[in-house]
Structure 1
């Protein structure tokens, strides 16, 4: 059954630009204009563009704020961005819209949270008003609910090509005793959505994740595989109670799901979570998660990787293993993207976005790998100050769309969600 989305207005900003050789132009967006401080400094030609010291600077980095809690009548803050670009050329941004929750701190993780989205039909230059597409308790009643961790997947092949499948999680607001994955879909480029259906019986208990406790999809986009015997399969990363990461898969365009092998993070880290997945040219799935150690000396500025050569059923290693050359901020999500995704034929050029400060969520950067994630180097810094979770999508063969949590020097990385168009070298 199809249900129409409902609108929840917000005011938006409009300073549009690109990083790299081409500036893609500026266009108005309805609403109150607001430039993030770092972008405003760059536009004025100031020396301080808020990049990490000694980092390669990206030219002409400008951006605009896409979601901002201070300009919302309904939500205290927005978090956990994810992105996709459809075959029709529509770019869709998904976030959590978080309300203030009695007795809890700002932007509470387990409060009353909705899934909110915005659509753009011109590559992120202009955006439609935000819409709430998932809210409340799935079983009715007045209990407040956390609807979070959006993981969108766009189908580029098969009888349902163009469909958008959206994975999310639910828990009762104020508790993490049980978190349940859900799935919904859109067959009209995100204009309307099906009802969200519980995947608890398919993905929790038995050989999957424990029935109770923590469960998280992504958070970042998932993919449809394009190579080998599993071409057409939908895949996404998850992590769950006990510190394990896994890949979940669907072979019927998102209706039913199964979980592959779950393995823990590296043995020498205290915390492992938040797994993103991409495919490479030989059909291998690369899964990368975040790390956090305890103590003064930490290897957790790196990330952790595991690979699957059988479509997500098993991993090649017994644990996720440290990626030494992804030096990033500990304890914060990063996003993995195959740069060749726009052409529909996954290659070996991967990108990874994450903040890079040694302690605070600051100084977002994009790393690049030309060898399917075997080695990485920093490609460029994204003009930003405070920076947290992020996601990326290819808008065409050369232009990257990037969405990330942001804030100013004296603020918080959860103050707003900023959008960038980046022309890649």
Structure 2
């Protein structure tokens, strides 16, 4: 069978001067005419027909290199290549980082384990017939290292039956799989998690079968193009496309219903009703709007209506020519919830046109023209901004902008000066920002124009000073503050990855990623051209200042772009200097094949465009200004040759506060080993950040179950009560999944031992934070053993904080601090003794802040000293009392106790060392008397400066003495009795003698 005509244009790979790959068109081939609705020729990369050769590229020059026997056999269209017994074809390197398509016919026997048809050189990325032996026999993608790094599609490849597979990846829509030309499922995961095309090896791990018609494209094909590109595909009947029940609403209408103008951003909410008769998942797949990919619902109840408020649109000149803009969006529904099962696309849904008109006025310039250029600004300094407004219409307009008012003739402009006073926010940003609103009218029409003028406003800040790290205050009453949203995404940028620290002046600093959606990875992780930004609170977290920039990325073509991602603070309390670690990316990050270039002397080339750098900024003025440098070579050196990429883990590192290695600065990182998984490593400095070093990698096998491996990810560090360090790591998959990996170090983080799973810490494969509640508490004291741990146990919702009293051996206290989305968490003890916590309250695209007290976690803190209540005592003056022993809970064996008592009756005393009250009351009271006694126990300072003391009050009631009677006088003899008739006989009864009484005393 003859195949469809040869494609019209060939492409070759050419290396540019900066090492990036470019696609260069050559002269067209003949014949050139093939009438179809397939993909344009400029999307074609490689085509392997296998008719005459197993390795020949008919579109380009990526001829493969064979390994093993690769016979040509009868194919679906002409000949095909048979792959068995470990044979494979290796193709030249090609970097398609996000947008691509791969199509081929495949016929293979049923697979019993992983069977990757085509894969990347390292096997991390692949299109696979089956994903793994312990997974269902379903087709899917390998997208990340580890057992969990897969996307499964609900289709089983029929045994030894020709099936056409097309995989597409779109930076705006996600990863789609087509079977025999029909869309099986589109997964939006790929939008924010870029996956480079797996184009290196045909005949990947475990695959046996026959492949025909392999075609590769440099963008995601449309559904129509997918079908048109398949040679040998039998036509299918047109399916019935369901209609979406929905409405669009504009959520930011102009006052009085005025139409929108060029440059205006229209915000839409789309309300969708599930009328399919079944609870299932819904997901948007395409739109002419911006920011629509968040329109999806995991569980969409039958009959329910849900709203998506995210989509926006920026009005263009073309819209003005048409007089309106019409929003459109396309959804698909899944057979089941959880975005699982077969998908069914809806017909595109179109809303009502939104009216747009030409502008009445154009702000041609708005800039500061006086008061600029000073070296040290203060609040209230005066600036002048000059505003120029032009009339682009054919009739007069009237404008008003504060004191600037004028009538402007057609084609003319008007300028006026506006005063401006420098604000606190301007000094915080280091830049004055004056915003102007221009109201324009023309007859019945009105319009509003806005503009911003900026100019640097440097100010001299006090230098940071040495200070003690704050300790949690156990005296604070139970409290959890309401959630504050510090930052939310817009159509221009996404928001992720919180970090928190406290400066020497007591300010709380919060930094995070600002991810431009027009970047190379559409607002995703590194290597998107992200910036590290910061907000500051000067009042303990009650309010937050403006967003400022720590490290700014640059959106640009490959070879020019750079970005910074995943911040983590480390504070040097000895000097007050603050460090912010982050990933420095050029053209590559973990999703698209990073790598290090190391010279013969073991030095890392930090300018190599595929390098993932350790970037470091530092501030000596409490985070107002920053200087930056790259420390990749210092940390990794020659070891980088064995690694794909590394990143410092976001959140917070520490300074070691106790011996050994007191004063050492420590920041955790994770590195992906070539052909393997992530391993944890400690970055440390012993000279206050002048130089940095990398410790040894935590072992991937020590302590792991037989044939198991530790798969680390983002990991954190904390100092224990005996001066050792504890590592606490997220798990990327495999052994320890669902929990945390824990290890200890007795050499300051250089090496790690006792690696094990902590099953007390259930974890949802999420970034977490572990901190010491009392960092200055002396070694071995009770408070020195108190640790706090924040994470999510299921998904990335319902954040909890756990507390340990024994250096993390057990975690008896756990309390939820967030109901709903939580995402990544990080914590720091604040100067007021509360604990500040940053999170991602929508899991993605928001940064939120709360603070809580220790007693919010549990009202009874067993490590805090408390006197037991003393019973009231009755005593008698002059009679020795039974000793009263004061008893305590939370007594610290490492600290000396001192007992005191106030209000004791005379004659009684307290032993200051033992807490025993003893003695004989000597009150000399005539009537009963009550004494209110306050007893106090105080322990020696444990290094925190927070008193360890407790008092109780009880009553000692003293009765008067019991007085013994004095003996009475002898009776005087009376007269002799007269003799009588004889003695009188009496019967005498025994009875108790009455007590003698003294008289006249």
Distance 1:117 1:155 in 2: 19
Is 1:339 matched up with 2:747? no
Is 1:246 matched up with 2:681? yes
Distance 1:199 1:102 in 2: 25
Distance 1:396 1:175, change over 3 A: closer
Per-residue CA distance 1:337-383 (angstroms, 9 max, x = gap): 111137798822111111111xx211111111111112223421012
Distance 1:283 1:255 in 2: 24
Give the C-alpha shift of residue 145 in structure 1: 2.0
Partner of 1:367: 802
Please say if residues 65 and 416 of structure 1, whose CA atoms lie closer than 8 Å, have aligned partners that are also in contact.
Answer: yes
Partner of 1:182: 615
Partner of 1:271: 711
Q: 1:205 aligns with which of 637, 646, 655?
A: 637
Q: 1:387 aligns with which of 822, 840, 847?
A: 822
Give the C-alpha shift of residue 220 in structure 1: 1.8
Distance 1:396 1:22 in 2: 13
Distance 2:821 2:636 in 1: 36
Partner of 2:579: 165
Is 1:92 matched up with 2:509? yes
Please say if residues 429 and 547 of structure 2, whose CA atoms lie closer than 8 Å, have aligned partners that are also in contact.
Answer: no
Please say if residues 98 and 113 of structure 1, whose CA atoms lie closer than 8 Å, have aligned partners that are also in contact.
Answer: yes
Per-residue CA distance 1:364-406 (angstroms, 9 max, x = gap): 1111111111222342101231221111000146411000112
Please say if residues 540 and 832 of structure 2, whose CA atoms lie closer than 8 Å, have aligned partners that are also in contact.
Answer: no
Please say if residues 833 and 853 of structure 2, whose CA atoms lie closer than 8 Å, have aligned partners that are also in contact.
Answer: yes
Please say if residues 303 and 323 of structure 1, whose CA atoms lie closer than 8 Å, have aligned partners that are also in contact.
Answer: yes
Distance 1:81 1:252 in 2: 27
Please say if residues 204 and 211 of structure 1, whose CA atoms lie closer than 8 Å, have aligned partners that are also in contact.
Answer: no
Distance 2:518 2:642 in 1: 26
Please say if residues 265 and 304 of structure 1, whose CA atoms lie closer than 8 Å, have aligned partners that are also in contact.
Answer: no
Distance 1:106 1:164, change over 3 A: closer
Q: 2:654 aligns with which of 213, 219, 223?
A: 223
Distance 1:181 1:283 in 2: 27
Distance 1:213 1:316 in 2: 25
Q: 1:256 aligns with which of 691, 707, 716?
A: 691
Partner of 2:853: 423
Distance 2:432 2:547 in 1: 6
Q: How many residues align?
A: 357
Distance 1:292 1:248 in 2: 21
Partner of 1:235: 666
Distance 1:60 1:392, change over 3 A: closer
User: Does the residue aligned with 1:88 lie in a helix, a strand or coil?
Assistant: coil
Give the C-alpha shift of residue 324 in structure 1: 0.9
Give the C-alpha shift of residue 198 in structure 1: 1.1
Distance 1:151 1:108, change over 3 A: closer
Partner of 1:28: none
User: Does the residue aligned with 1:201 lie in a helix, a strand or coil?
Assistant: helix
Per-residue CA distance 1:194-241 (angstroms, 9 max, x = gap): 1x11112211232x5447522111212111111113111101111102
Structure 2 unaligned regions, length at least 5: 1-427, 434-473, 595-610, 856-1001
Query: TM-score under structure 1 normalisation?
Result: 0.76
User: Does the residue aligned with 2:852 lie in a helix, a strand or coil?
Assistant: strand
Give the C-alpha shift of residue 179 in structure 1: 0.6
Please say if residues 284 and 308 of structure 1, whose CA atoms lie closer than 8 Å, have aligned partners that are also in contact.
Answer: yes
Please say if residues 665 and 686 of structure 2, whose CA atoms lie closer than 8 Å, have aligned partners that are also in contact.
Answer: yes
Distance 1:67 1:173 in 2: 27
Is 1:67 matched up with 2:487? yes
Give the C-alpha shift of residue 288 in structure 1: 0.8
Partner of 1:80: 497
Give the C-alpha shift of residue 74 in structure 1: 4.7
Structure 1 unaligned regions, length at least 5: 10-19, 24-57, 408-412
Distance 1:214 1:203 in 2: 13
Distance 1:363 1:109, change over 3 A: farther
Distance 2:497 2:769 in 1: 11
Distance 1:221 1:260 in 2: 18
Partner of 1:125: 542
Q: 1:353 aligns with which of 780, 785, 790?
A: 790
Partner of 1:406: 841
Distance 1:103 1:396, change over 3 A: closer
User: Does the residue aligned with 1:263 lie in a helix, a strand or coil?
Assistant: coil
Distance 2:512 2:769 in 1: 14
Please say if residues 7 and 132 of structure 1, whose CA atoms lie closer than 8 Å, have aligned partners that are also in contact.
Answer: no
Partner of 1:50: none
User: Does the residue aligned with 2:633 lie in a helix, a strand or coil?
Assistant: helix
Partner of 1:313: 750
Give the C-alpha shift of residue 174 in structure 1: 5.1
Distance 1:154 1:108, change over 3 A: closer
Distance 2:790 2:647 in 1: 19
User: Does the residue aligned with 2:840 lie in a helix, a strand or coil?
Assistant: strand
User: Does the residue aligned with 2:585 lie in a helix, a strand or coil?
Assistant: strand
Distance 1:5 1:397 in 2: 26
Distance 1:172 1:78 in 2: 20
Q: Which has the higher contact order (CA 8 A, sep 6+)?
A: 1
Partner of 1:26: none
Distance 1:332 1:8 in 2: 39
Distance 1:7 1:74 in 2: 21
Distance 1:150 1:259 in 2: 18
User: Does the residue aligned with 2:637 lie in a helix, a strand or coil?
Assistant: coil
Give the C-alpha shift of residue 148 in structure 1: 1.5
Give the C-alpha shift of residue 416 in structure 1: 0.7
Distance 1:200 1:414, change over 3 A: same
Q: Which has the larger radius of gyration?
A: 2
Give the C-alpha shift of residue 156 in structure 1: 1.3
Please say if residues 170 and 182 of structure 1, whose CA atoms lie closer than 8 Å, have aligned partners that are also in contact.
Answer: yes
Q: Root-mean-square deviation (CA), in Å?
A: 3.1
Is 1:113 matched up with 2:530? yes
